[in-house]
């Protein structure tokens, strides 16, 4: 019965994709500003901030799923940018504190990079690609922020947009729902509500600013770190 049901292809306008990125950026910034003491604690900011990674993962998955199968260079280019930004952002991310062993896990740029690595291996279909993809998932998921659930939701969303199957959907759902174990709430699941709303109602054109988002992540952490130093020096 399940196999006979056709899963829908969710289409997003370019404006909806950009709107999701901007929403994720705003929620992430507010969450980090509160986390690192730049703004007073406000009820709901932490909860809403749990949407940021799922939204970024959905946008990344949707954009890469539209790439032609033979154009693996796009995956390499995106992966290179993510790894570079992850490395740069690690300096303020570690300095801001609150990490295990002082430096673990890697920031969410690393989470997205692990997911893209798996997408690349799946798309390449090179020898032992399944074994390599599984190894990257197990090892990479252990060292990045939001761990295996964060990676799984990105890969599941990408697989779904490549080909809407029950397996892909279940991986996407399981990854998102499993974030509850990390976040302590179900707010990550609200990303599906946001996705449905964006797909249904956002048809406007919003200028693309793809590289801005790569730059913004390490930049906003650096600003928060410098503001923290300034506050400490005046206290």
Per-residue pLDDT of 184-228, as tens digits, reads 999 999 999 999 999 998 888 888 887 899 999 999 999 999 998
What average pLDDT is seen over the chain?
93
User: What is residue 5's predicted lDDT score, i.e. its pLDDT?
Assistant: 61
Average pLDDT rounded to a whole number, residues 119-132: 94
Q: How far apart are CA 151 and CA 63, in angstroms?
A: 16
User: What is residue 182's predicted lDDT score, i.e. its pLDDT?
Assistant: 96
User: What is residue 1's predicted lDDT score, i.e. its pLDDT?
Assistant: 41
Q: How far apart are CA 80 and CA 156, in angstroms?
A: 21
Residue 176 and residue 54 in contact, taking contact as beta carbons nearer than 8 Å: yes
The residues pairing with 100 across neighbouring beta strands, listed in sequence order, are 104
Among candidate residues 160, 164, 162, 163, the one with its CA nearest the CA of residue 175: 160
pTM value surpassing 0.85: yes
Average pLDDT rounded to a whole number, residues 180-184: 97
Q: Using one digit for the tens of pLDDT, what is the confidence trace for 61-103? A: 999 999 987 789 999 999 999 999 999 999 999 999 989 888 8
Four-CA torsion 213, 190, 176, 183, nearest 10 degrees: 90
């Amino acid at each position: 019965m399940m196999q006979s049901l056709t899963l829908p292809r969710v289409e997003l306008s370019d404006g909806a994709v950009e709107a999701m990125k901007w929403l994720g950026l705003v929620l992430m910034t507010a969450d980090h500003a509160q986390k690192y003491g730049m703004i007073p604690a406000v009820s709901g900011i932490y909860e809403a901030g749990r949407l940021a990674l799922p939204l970024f993962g959905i946008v990344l998955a949707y954009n890469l799923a539209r790439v032609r199968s033979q154009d693996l260079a796009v995956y390499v280019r995106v992966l290179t940018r993510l790894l570079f930004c992850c490395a740069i952002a690690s300096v303020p991310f570690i300095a801001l504190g609150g990490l295990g062993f002082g430096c673990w896990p890697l920031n969410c740029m690393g989470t997205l990079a692990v997911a893209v690595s798996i997408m690349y291996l799946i798309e390449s279909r090179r020898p032992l690609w399944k074994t390599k993809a599984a190894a990257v998932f197990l090892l990479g998921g252990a060292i990045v922020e939001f761990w295996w659930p964060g990676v799984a939701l990105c890969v599941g969303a990408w697989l779904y947009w490549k080909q809407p199957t029950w397996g892909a959907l279940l991986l996407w759902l399981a990854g998102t729902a499993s974030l509850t174990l990390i976040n302590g709430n179900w707010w990550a699941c609200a990303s599906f509500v946001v996705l449905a709303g964006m797909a249904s109602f956002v048809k406007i054109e919003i200028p693309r600013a793809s590289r801005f988002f790569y730059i913004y992540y390490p930049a906003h952490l650096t600003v928060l770190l410098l503001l923290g130093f300034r506050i400490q020096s005046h206290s």
